[in-house]
Structure 1
Amino acid sequence: MCGRYALEAPRSQLSSRFALDECVDVPARYNIAPASEIAVIRQSPVGERVLHLLRWGLVPHWAKDPAIGARLINARGESLSEKPAFREAFRRRRCLIPASGFYEWQPTAAAAGPARKQPYYSSLKSGETMAIGGLWEAWTMPSGEILRSCCIVTTAANELLQPIHARMPLILAAEHWPAWLSASVADARPLIGPFPAVAMQTWPVSPRVGRSSEDDSALTAALGKEEES
């Protein structure tokens, strides 16, 4: 499960990297957690790429209670067409979620007591902002206001990340962004799979990232190098 990630990219960089026609300001954040308002790239009805803030935790349009979003932060890519919560969004409302990197926790044996989990931070070797495949929805509140929400699509981990966690976010190469945003399900489905391990890097980081109240650049630094970041 992908439950935390970081994004440190100024508006100008995001606009250039993703060829955006519209982009809101996105402050740097190093410990983005579910229920946050996060940067999401969608394709508008007229074909423009726009970046707006959506709530992380998908609320299907048919949901009776928006609290369901707390359980729908991730969607397994292999079963998007079968799950009622994701099926319609996979057909019509796919999106990109920009990220500098993401965190996963590796279970580790403890000499005594319960097993502990060591967090790892993973990013692209190129240093570029990655595009994570996502889904989005619009839910109408009783007041008539629209709640727009999203989730991260996951896939099997690549060889680099398998020792840490069995799953990873769906990372899409730039040449696949147009198809993910607007193509048919038949064309989008083949894009679901692990990103090449050779293009990624990962390292252990401070367990501070487990506290959502923590949010500083040292969280992404390798253990022992936090003071250098």
Structure 2
Amino acid sequence: MPDLHGHARIHPWRAQEGIIPAVAIYEPDWRSGLHVPTRIRRTDGELLGIAGLWEEWTDRAGQIVRSYTMLTINADTHPIFKELHRPDPKRPPDMQDKRMVVILPRGLYVDWLDAPAEKTIDFMRQFPADRLVAEAQPREPRAG
């Protein structure tokens, strides 16, 4: 597929799609001005199936290396995730880095794993806030 300048584009999405199972994820809540670890899980107790990518490659020493990443999307409008992450005082309120991992509904797991690269954008959606619970997990004060 050519780009705007007529050059052939190499699709950057060369890794394999995967699903990262998690009981919960932790994000920092800075609304109080302090970093408060916040545990986010599904209301039904099911595992979170986080859309991810993985790649396997060989380093210079000949060792196989596996790399993994969780995909994130903009969360400016998500009732839970828009409140998380540290505000950047150098950026206006509408330009803050509000993001969330892509949580796949269980019924889409196979579709995600089978999707060709050009269709993966269809999975980049916010998970419904009413199906998530966010609970502050404040750290215990350190002694001494």
- In 2 relative to 1, CA 168–177 (structure 1 residues): closer, same or farther, beyond 3 Å? same
2:66 aligns with 148
Deviation readout 1:132-188 (Å, 9 max, x if unpaired): 001111120233221111011011232122122411111001121112112112332
- Residue aligned with 1:193, SS: coil
Name the TM-score, length of structure 2 as normaliser: 0.73
Aligned mate of 1:107, from 26, 30, 34 = 30
**Aligned mate of 2:20, from 81, 88, 97:** 97
Q: Is the 8 A contact 1:179 1:187 kept in 2?
A: no
Runs ≥4 residues deviating over 4 A: none
CA RMSD of aligned residues (A): 2.2
- Determine what percentage of the aligned residue pairs are the same residue: 28
Q: Is the 8 A contact 1:179 1:188 kept in 2?
A: no
1:168 pairs, out of 100, 103, 107, with: 100
Q: How does 1:60-99 map to 2 (within 5 A)?
A: 87-89=13-15, 93-99=16-22
Q: Distance in 2 between matches of 1:163 and 1:145?
A: 41
User: Which residue type is aligned with residue 73 of structure 2?
Assistant: T
Contact map agreement 2:31 2:83 (CA 8 A) in 1: no
- Structure 1, unaligned stretches of length 5 or more? 1-81, 110-114, 209-229
Q: Distance in 1 between matches of 2:120 and 2:84?
A: 27
What per-residue deviation string (whole Å, max 9, x for no partner) do you get for residues 170-207 of structure 1? 10011211121121123321110110111111111023
User: Radius of gyration: which is bigger?
Assistant: 2
Q: Which amino acid aligns with 1:98?
A: P
Structure-2 residue corresponding to 1:196: 128
Q: Describe the shift of the 1:173–1:139 C-alpha distance in structure 2 as closer, same or farther (beyond 3 A).
A: same
**Structure 2 counterpart of 1:65:** none
Number of equivalent positions: 118
Q: TM-score, normalised by structure 1?
A: 0.47
Kindly tell me: are residues 207 and 95 of structure 1, through their superposed partners in 2, closer, same or farther at Cα, counting changes over 3 Å?
same
Gaps of 5+ in 2: 1-8, 86-97
CA distance in 1, matches of 2:131, 2:30: 24
- Identify, as 1 or 2, the structure richer in helix: 1
Q: Is this contact kept in 2: 1:170–1:194, CA < 8 A?
A: yes
Larger relative contact order (C-alpha < 8 A, sep ≥ 6)? 2
